[in-house]
Structure 1
Amino acid sequence: MKEKVLEAYDKLAGDYERHVDALSGHNAFYERPAMLRMLPQEMEQMSVLDAGCAAGWYTEQLIKRGARVTAIDLSPSMIEACKRRVGSEATIAACDLTEALPFADEAFDYIVSSLTLHYIEDWMPTFREFQRVLKPGGSLLFSVHHPFMDVKLVERQDYFARTLLREVWNKPESGAVEVVFYRRPMQEIINVTSSCFSIEEIVEPQPSLEHKDKPEAEAWMAKWYERLMTNPHFLIVKARKSK
């Protein structure tokens, strides 16, 4: 599984670096606006872990809000793209979220993880590491595929089963790339999170109209707006470590 994720995202790195910010409406006009609204506007003096940084879009946003950012990703190609985006303004390293994190206890005020955790089969070791490296009172904000969306991709639909799924994404540079990820029921998402943190907010985002007048948004809005207004595609969870 890990090798398949690594292979896919090394192939996709060029698209994430040069096209996703403007051309992928599910990121630019849907998930990202919802996540940003849940982050503090001012993050001065905060130490933040961008867990699954990809090409560094969130890393850059966190830096702009004043945070001291450590960005990690499984893909070396994504790490290089992130470095090209933010240079020396963040600490950036290849890192596997399924293994022990190379950080001290209580190192971070905030962990942000965008559309990453559904590539991990067993969340418990990862969430225990998140709990370990977060300071008391620190926050975890993550987004994942919504389980109601992904259950439609299952051949033998069993909502309660954790299921390995495959999808083919067609991107401008990489062409067709098979991406694999896990679908899990809502109760597993909530129960694993709440075993390590106190859940503060759950958001099932709807499309943002902030960018609707941009030319690159027009076609995406026409195709996806009504569907995403009535069918959840992603899920966002904000949680806090007890003091």
Structure 2
Amino acid sequence: MNKQQIIDAYDILASHYEHSVDYESPYNTEYERPAMVDQLPSSMKGIHVLDAGCAAGWYTEQFLNRGANVTAIDVSSEMVAATKRRIGKKAEVYQLDFENALPFADSTYDCIVSSLALHYIADWNRTFAEFVRLLKPGGTFLFSVHHPTMDIHFSENKEYFKREFLHDRWKKSGKYVDMYFYRRPLQDIINDTLHHFEIEKMIEPIPTEEFRRNYPSSYEKLLKQPSFLIIKAKKKRF
């Protein structure tokens, strides 16, 4: 039932992601997104990108604007529909669950980007093995997830070293949505990644100056306790 709970939540949130997040969510617009796109080249002409967990297509659109060839996937049919409305036929967009095998050929992509999606996956090793198959040798894997020092606060028993399926409630557009995700310790995040990739960089993002000006108390909170963690890794060449 865990997976269906996650899908149901994002089907409900799709309209919010399509119409509001880009303007109303500083944790996305002035915190996670700037740090992620800073790790990508300004020109992505000729680069084949898989947007794994595309939500309403904001990243898909950024990659297209930089000249990339993009495939976007999401487990939520509503998010897939929102992405198609955003970018039309400029990219291939599919409803797929990247916890399972994906219908793409080996060594198809130069880059796989996954923004705030992997904490909805129970078994990273299966997903990472599939991403290795899809990436070209030396290809980039860039992903962001909840920071383990943030999501431990949602744990009832505070068992840091245990992987847990947790519940939160998000208030969006005046209504509450039940959200579910997996938390795992930092060593699991790093070691699962290292088992499949070479880690190039680990980033604990700093919110932008605009974030500081508009939300000073949240800015100070993020300097003391980060909410997100970004990993930039590469497929091994041998």
Deviation at 1:41, TM superposition (A): 1.0
What is residue 99 of structure 2 aligned with on the other side?
98
Q: Does 1:64 align with 2:58?
A: no
1:46-70, CA deviations, whole angstroms, 9 ceiling, x for partnerless residues?
Answer: 0000000000000000001110000
Give the distance between the partners of 2:153 and 2:110, measured in 1 at CA: 37
Distance 1:75 1:10 in 2: 6
Task: Specify the alignment match of 1:47 in structure 2.
Answer: 48
Residue 235 of structure 1: aligned partner: 229
Equivalence map 1:126-165=2 (5 Å): 126-165=127-166
SS at match of 2:209: coil
Unmatched tracts of structure 1, length 5 or more: none
TM-score (norm 1): 0.95
CA distance in 2, matches of 1:148, 1:88: 40
Partner of 1:203: 203
Structure 1: 4+ residue segments shifted above 2 A: 210-213
Alpha-carbon distance in 2 for matches of 1:103, 1:13 = 25
Structure 1: how far apart are the matches of 2:159 and 2:100?
29
Query: TM-score scaled to structure 2, two decimals?
Result: 0.97
- Deviation of 1:155 after TM superposition, in Å, equals 1.2
Task: In structure 1, give the amino acid aligned to 2:203.
Answer: V
Mapped to 1, the partners of 2:63 and 2:104 lie a distance apart of: 19
Q: In the alignment, what sits opposite 2:194?
A: 194
Judging changes above 3 Å, is the alpha-carbon distance between structure 1 residues 146 and 211 closer, same or farther for their aligned structure 2 residues? closer
Q: How many residues align?
A: 236
**1:229 Cα shift?**
1.5
Q: What is the distance in 2 between the residues matched to 1:204 and 1:184?
A: 16
- SS of equivalent residue, structure 2 residue 232: strand
Cα offset, 1:154, TM superposition: 0.9
Task: For 1:95 and 1:40, locate their aligned partners in 2 and report how far apart those are by CA, in whole Å.
Answer: 27
2:120 aligns with: 119
Distance 1:191 1:65 in 2: 32
Query: Structure 1 residue 222: deviation in Å?
Result: 2.9
Residue matched to 1:12: 13
User: Separation in 2 of the partners of 1:27 and 1:181?
Assistant: 18
CA RMSD in angstroms comes to 1.1
- Shift of residue 43 of structure 1? 0.7
Find the residue that maps to 2:125 and give its secondary structure: helix
Identical aligned pairs, as a percentage? 53
Cα distance, 1:223 vs structure 2: 3.6
| Correspondence for 1:77 | 78
